[in-house]
A and B are shown apart, each in its own frame.
Chain A
Amino acid sequence: MEDTEDLIELCLLMGKIMQQNGAETYRVEDTMTRIAQSFGRDESQSYVTPTGIMFTISPGAHAKLVRVSARETNLEKVNLANNVSRKIASGELSTQAAYKELRTIETSPTDYSMRMQIIAATLASGFFTIMFQGSWYDFLPACLAGGLGFIALINFIRLFEIKFVAEFVASLLIGFTAFSLFSFGIGKEVDKIVIGSIMPLVPGLLITNAVRDLMAGHLISGLAKGAEAFLTAFAIGAGIAVMFALF
């Protein structure tokens, strides 16, 4: 009996880690079912949404629920969780050992330092400006605006705990930097600078995942992700819009 409880906890933790870090909904469900299968439980059922996961090991047994409150994209954690599920499938790990390993993955710090992520966002902004047919004159202003916006985003998320406010403030800052640099004569096309520098904030993954989930039949997940993407896009757009009105 205790074993069963351990197995349920293991499946839920696996699902939670995957869902929190940006795995697709169908993959989360698939992985949970497969873990149960590799311990000889063929009739498990899972129901995964972006905000919570329900799981029951066999029909008629009690169901357990885990809440997913914050979502981000951390592909390394998805990869590590996937490795654990591979090892379980090949019979290398017991429930307890797998659970312990997942716990370490869940609490492990991120692989890249904050500074490195900021540098990446800075460069990404500049190169996106080039990709959207901006000129190299716009490269540096876009880097500056995008980098500042990203710094604002990660700091304000900690401060407000409401993602959309942080995104709004970050895009305000991006708009302000881009437009004021432009009014000092730095940069050629202010549109391209703004487009490039908001790219690190744009919910591209969410929009695509939302449509994909809808197509795969995960209607609730798709609509929920779509709503989240819409709110983020709206926050960014509103921030830029305020700056448009001011300048």
Chain B
Amino acid sequence: MLIEYAIASFFASAAFGIIYQAPRNTIIKCGLVGMIGWVIYISLVWGEVDSVPATLTASFVIAMVSQMLARINKTPMIIFSVPGIIPLVPGSLAYDAMRNFVQNDYSAAISIAAKAFMISGAIAFGLVFSEVLNQIIKKIRQTKAQMR
């Protein structure tokens, strides 16, 4: 059920906002950012997209939304993006990898660990990509303003 995951990811991200001590008036927005990211991710995965591109898309959207919120609230962007990306972090894969290591199933463990690494790379890439896009937009606006 999508709504169930949406609610769970909202509270999980908001709770992470509290653990990471985000300012009080931003907690609900942190939850919303996390919810948007997770809903996108889970819908893509259900639509049989591989989890790496799904993570990339979700983290890109999270970064865009965080940047927007940061501009409105005049805060650094990480206040929203950090609690927001927490649901995407491959904690369960890292756990699976560790479990397989302990049970001496090294080949399974290595392949799961590689997947976890790919997913963290995808998260970072999504964040960086949105930042680059943002800078390009800013530059275009500046040059347009200079032209006038």
A contact residues vs B (CB 8 Å cutoff): 22-24, 27, 73-79, 82-83, 86, 110-112, 116-117, 120-121, 123-124, 127-128, 130-132, 191, 194-195, 198-200, 202, 204-205, 207-208, 211-212, 215-216, 233, 236-237, 240-241, 244-245
Contacts and interface: CB of A to CB of B under 8 A. Distances in A.
Contacts of A78: 76, 78-79
B91 A195 contact: yes
A202 B20 CA distance: 13
Contacts of B21: 73-77, 110-112
Interface of B: 4-5, 8-9, 11-12, 15-24, 38, 74-76, 78-79, 82, 85-87, 89, 91-92, 94-95, 98-99, 101-103, 120-121, 123-125, 127-128
Nearest to A18: B76
A79 B62 CA distance: 19
Given A112-B18, A117-B19, A200-B19, A75 B78 contact: yes
Given A79-B22, A241-B99, 4 more contacts: A198-B95, A208-B85, A211-B121, A244-B103
Which applies to chain A's interface (DSSP): helix, strand, loop or mixed? helix
26 contacts: A22-B78, A74-B20, A74-B21, A75-B23, A75-B79, A76-B22, A77-B21, A82-B76, A112-B21, A116-B18, A121-B19, A123-B12, A127-B9, A127-B15, A130-B4, A130-B5, A130-B8, A194-B95, A199-B91, A208-B85, A208-B123, A208-B127, A236-B98, A240-B98, A241-B101, A244-B103
